[in-house]
Amino acid sequence: MPRAIGANCRLLTIPEVTYGTAPGSNWRRMPFLSCDLGAEQPLLDADVIGVGSNRDPAAPFLDIVTVQGQAVVPVDLVNIGHWLRLLLGPPTTTGTDPNFIHTYGSGAAALPSNSIEIGYPDVPSYDVCTGVRADTLEIDFSPSGPATASFGLMGQGSVRSGTSSGGTPTTAAYTAFHKAQGAISRGGSPLGQVTGARMTYANGMEMVRTIRADRKVEGVDPGIARATGQVTVRFADTTLLTQGRHARPGSRHGPWPRLRLPGQGPRSPCCHRLGRRWRCVGCAAAALTGGRRAPDGSRRHRSGLLESRHRARRRRAHRGKRLRARAAWHFGQGPDYCRGCAALDRDCGHLCPYAAHAPATIEGATAWTAGTACTVATMGGATLDMAGELATARELGASG
């Protein structure tokens, strides 16, 4: 029995004259990296009882048909224009053959639709999705690597058959762009020393669900267009910093930029080593939060409230809650959640459980550092090396 091979997959597309109707002329073959566009018709549970002699419910029923997916395509000289036309509408073309200049603009009142066929000739199986419109575009910029773009697609219907509907497909020459060849300009002037950028454009497409015998959506209508992005540049001048700080609604300037300093962060002037009799609550919290004092600790420190050993001994019965809460987060789902925040470039600040449950004393900070260094996570839970923890605590200056 033949099996579908991804390397033999074919993607054909053609603009529609009538929405939701696939044209019968020769289609265009497009290069792509991946595509999961297809129809889905879920089964809904029927919570009906009393139809049998036992507790089994009634048979489920089919819901409405939805067609959506994503296509990842290379950014090349010719074929990318057909995807941009589907996203933004027909361009304004100037120049002469062969040096045409196609200019695409956002916010078009009406957007075109395409029919897209995804074929597996090894089986054979050909899925024709009609009424397809582009909802989103995501594109990244970096100094190296191939240039690719991801298009979010939404359609009306899908028909599968054993023969292709593309006729004799036409193919354009494939001339790929590379990220190192790109140029980024702002206000007509090149923006220099860009190390990375990301842009997202969305048409705000909405599926119009109506009552139909074929269970298809009535169509896909565009909403409010939105474009967002981020650019990372080397700190060579203060141009972007000045423009960001003077940004106003409706201006071309971006939001207030953030300046990052790699390497060791700035040290606070109060972070000197204190004696055993007095301990700075703010510095103890800052030692476990990467140099940032927790709000509670910083307020105590600015007001000059230093906790003495005698006062801390009277509250010894209530100690341990911070460490228990922090350990539950650290040895649970906490690290995975924090890695997600780092990937999204998000700073939770004092809301992060690591900062909210930071130890407020030097003893607590020592216990946390020694405990995490000598704890090994296993399938059965966490194993603590008590001898190693005590030795580590003594190296950190603990007594006893």
- Give the mean model confidence (pLDDT) for residues 346-355: 72
Task: Return the pLDDT at 356.
Answer: 79
Residue 263 falls inside a structural domain = no
Distance from C-alpha of 383 to C-alpha of 103, rounded to nearest angstrom: 62
Given 201, 222, 245, which residue is the final one in a domain?
245
Residue 51 falls inside a structural domain = yes
Radius of gyration of the chain from Cα atoms? 30
Does residue 165 share a domain with residue 116? yes
Does residue 297 share a domain with residue 233? no
pTM of the complete model beyond 0.85: no
Given 221, 245, 269, which residue is the final one in a domain?
245
- Give the mean model confidence (pLDDT) for residues 268-292: 38
Average confidence score pLDDT of the chain: 78
Residue 400 falls inside a structural domain = no
Task: Return the pLDDT at 247.
Answer: 65
Give the pLDDT band (50/70/90) at residue 302: very low
Residue 224 falls inside a structural domain = yes
Judge whether residue 265 has pLDDT over 70: no
Give the pLDDT band (50/70/90) at residue 400: low
Given 192, 220, 245, which residue is the final one in a domain?
245
Does residue 295 share a domain with residue 217? no
Does residue 89 share a domain with residue 12? yes
- More confident of the two residues 254 and 171: 171
Does residue 108 share a domain with residue 210? yes
Q: How many domains does the chain have?
A: 2
Judge whether residue 157 has pLDDT over 80: yes
- Give the mean model confidence (pLDDT) for residues 61-75: 93
Does residue 137 share a domain with residue 89? yes
Judge whether residue 137 has pLDDT over 90: yes
Residue 215 falls inside a structural domain = yes
Does residue 78 share a domain with residue 149? yes
Judge whether residue 118 has pLDDT over 90: yes
Residue 261 falls inside a structural domain = no
Judge whether residue 313 has pLDDT over 90: no
**Using CA atoms in the order 275, 276, 281, 287, what is the torsion angle rounded to 10 degrees?**
80
Of 66, 79, 183, 184, the residue nearest 135 (C-alpha): 66
Does residue 175 share a domain with residue 57? yes
Alpha helices in 290-361 (DSSP H): 295-302, 309-314, 321-330, 334-343, 353-356
Does residue 282 share a domain with residue 228? no
Does residue 313 share a domain with residue 232? no
Q: Which domain holds residue 324?
A: 278-395
Give the pLDDT band (50/70/90) at residue 231: confident
- More confident of the two residues 8 and 253: 8
Does residue 229 share a domain with residue 358? no
Residue 89 near residue 112 (C-beta atoms within 8 A): yes
Q: How many CA atoms lie within 13 A of 354 on its CB side?
A: 19
Does residue 213 share a domain with residue 329? no
Question: Range with the lowest mean pLDDT among 207-221, 273-287, 381-395?
Answer: 273-287
